[in-house]
């Protein structure tokens, strides 16, 4: 068995994290007051009552509504610093952070406000928190490809400090095939490619994300276990799968943590790592995910070390940075 201190001490990378999903209820209320925004759930108590989800969409509704408090660049900076502070306490030494540019532009927030606000916190993350960081622009798959392409062109034109693109939001009915031109353009621009697939969507979405979009990493990917041929391929190619166990439980992608396929995925030889997804909404940061897993499955140190090592190896960090952390 592993104790919590040892878990935390282990250097790890967080590769699946939506910065807007780190907005804690307390910070939501603080930013609402600062910006004079009237919230539908204006007290901690009323807000807390909203955190019971039945599926991905029920979470997304609250997640997008709460973004209304993000107005100025400082708001984005404060949110990002709050995450980095908590990530440091979890032993995170490298973080690849997604943000949802379209969700902010749609609310009338300038793209530069969101980008510059987040980037300001990331620029000093090593000095402030000992965490190297990268930024990934995630596009909303329930919006049109045209909208995503427009925002991508704007990000490229402003030389936004992004290392890659991702694909998130409502999965079922919005398959990878909808975004072939977006990924082609991002690849041409030299960006790294990831996408959510196989969270609520079928294994064929994982396959299509690889074949049609050319992604090098799959966010979630848990439903891949339903397809033996796909699992064989993912094992052979050692495609990283950024699994988020507490998220899967809270969004009912799995019935219980005990029923989560992660142990089976590890046994199969898949390249899996553990991430927090939207930690302010799902009951904890990356250490809480590790602790819940270790308790549920009675893991030894070797298993936890394997998963932490996978996260570093699967990251877009430099060879030198990886060597430093492994
Ligand atoms: N946006 C934020 N978190 C997400 C998740 N887990 N799946 C899809 N879109 C998201
Ligand atoms: Zn996610």
What is the pLDDT, as a whole number, of residue 273? 99
Q: 4-325 maps to which CATH number?
A: 3.20.20.140
What is the pLDDT, as a whole number, of residue 190? 98
Give mean pLDDT, residues 271-300: 98
Structure tokens, 307: 């998963």
1 — pLDDT class (breaks 50, 70, 90): confident
Give mean pLDDT, residues 33-55: 96
Give mean pLDDT, residues 303-316: 98
Mutation pick for ligand 1 pocket among 14, 60, 248 (CB with most ligand atoms within 8 Å): 60
- Reduced to 3 states (helix: H, G, I; strand: E, B; else coil), residue 180 is helix
Asked whether 18 lines ligand 1 (CB < 6 A), one says yes
Mutation pick for ligand 1 pocket among 223, 278, 279, 282 (CB with most ligand atoms within 8 Å): 278
Atom of ligand 1 nearest to the CA of 247: 6
**What DSSP character marks residue 109?**
-
Structure tokens, 168: 């998130």
Asked whether 203 lines ligand 1 (CB < 6 A), one says no
Query: Could you tell me the strand order of the sheet in which 12-18 lies?
Result: 12-18, 92-99, 132-140, 164-168, 192-197, 217-220, 240-243, 271-274
Asked whether 247 lines ligand 1 (CB < 6 A), one says yes
Q: What mean pLDDT value characterizes the chain?
A: 98
pLDDT in tens, 164-184: 999 999 999 999 999 999 999
Q: Where are the domains of the chain?
A: 4-325
Binding residues for Zn(2+): 16, 18, 196, 277
Atom of ligand 1 nearest to the CA of 168: 9
Which residue owns the Cα nearest ligand 1 atom 10?
169
Please check the confidence at residue 78 and state whether its pLDDT lies above 90.
yes
Atom of ligand 1 nearest to the CA of 278: 3
Asked whether 271 lines ligand 1 (CB < 6 A), one says no
Atom of ligand 1 nearest to the CA of 21: 2
Give mean pLDDT, residues 142-164: 98
**Angstrom distance (rounded) from CA 137 to CA 177:** 19
Asked whether 201 lines ligand 1 (CB < 6 A), one says no
Q: Determine phi and psi for 201, rounding to 5 degrees.
A: -80, 165
What is the pLDDT, as a whole number, of residue 247? 98
Binding residues: 16, 18, 196, 277-278
Asked whether 310 lines ligand 1 (CB < 6 A), one says no
The angle subtended at Cα 183 by Cα 193 and Cα 68, nearest 5°, is 80
What is the pLDDT, as a whole number, of residue 109? 98
Give mean pLDDT, residues 273-295: 98
Question: How far is the centre of ligand 1, averaged over its atoms, from the C-alpha of 1 (Å)?
Answer: 31
Burial 120-150 (b: 16+ CB within 10 A, else e): ebbeebeeebebbbbbbbbbbbebeeeebbe
Q: Which candidate, 217, 297, 214, places its Cα nearest to that of 16?
A: 217
Please say if 30 is a catalytic residue. no
């Amino acid at each position: 068995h592993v104790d919590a201190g040892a878990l935390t001490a282990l250097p790890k990378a967080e590769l699946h994290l939506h910065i807007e999903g780190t907005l804690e209820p307390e910070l939501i209320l603080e930013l609402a007051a600062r910006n004079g925004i009237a919230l539908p759930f204006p007290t901690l108590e009323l807000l807390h009552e909203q955190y019971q989800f039945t599926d991905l969409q029920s979470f997304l509704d609250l997640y997008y509504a709460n973004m209304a408090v993000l107005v100025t660049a400082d708001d984005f900076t404060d949110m990002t610093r709050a995450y980095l502070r908590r990530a440091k306490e979890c032993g995170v030494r490298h973080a690849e952070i997604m943000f949802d540019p379209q969700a902010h532009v749609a609310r009338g927030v300038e793209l530069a406000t969101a980008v510059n606000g987040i980037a300001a916190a990331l620029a000093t993350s090593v000095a402030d928190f000992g965490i190297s960081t990268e930024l990934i622009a995630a596009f909303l798959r329930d919006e049109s490809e045209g909208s995503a392409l427009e925002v991508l062109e704007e990000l490229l034109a402003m030389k936004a400090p992004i290392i890659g693109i991702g694909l998130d939001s409502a999965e079922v009915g919005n398959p990878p095939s909808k975004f072939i031109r977006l990924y082609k353009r991002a690849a041409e621009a030299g960006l790294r490619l990831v996408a959510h697939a196989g969270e609520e969507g079928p294994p064929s979405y994982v396959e299509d994300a690889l074949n049609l979009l050319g992604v090098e990493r799959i966010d979630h990917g848990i439903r891949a276990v339903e397809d033996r041929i796909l699992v064989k391929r993912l094992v052979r190619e050692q495609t990283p799968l950024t699994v988020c166990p507490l998220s899967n439980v809270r969004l009912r992608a799995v019935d219980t943590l005990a029923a989560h396929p992660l142990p089976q995925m590890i046994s199969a030889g898949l390249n899996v790592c553990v991430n927090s997804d939207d930690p302010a909404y799902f009951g904890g940061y990356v250490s809480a995910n590790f602790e819940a897993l270790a308790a549920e499955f009675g893991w030894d140190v070797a298993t936890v070390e394997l998963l932490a090592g996978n996260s570093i190896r699967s990251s877009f960090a430099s060879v030198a940075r990886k060597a430093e952390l492994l």
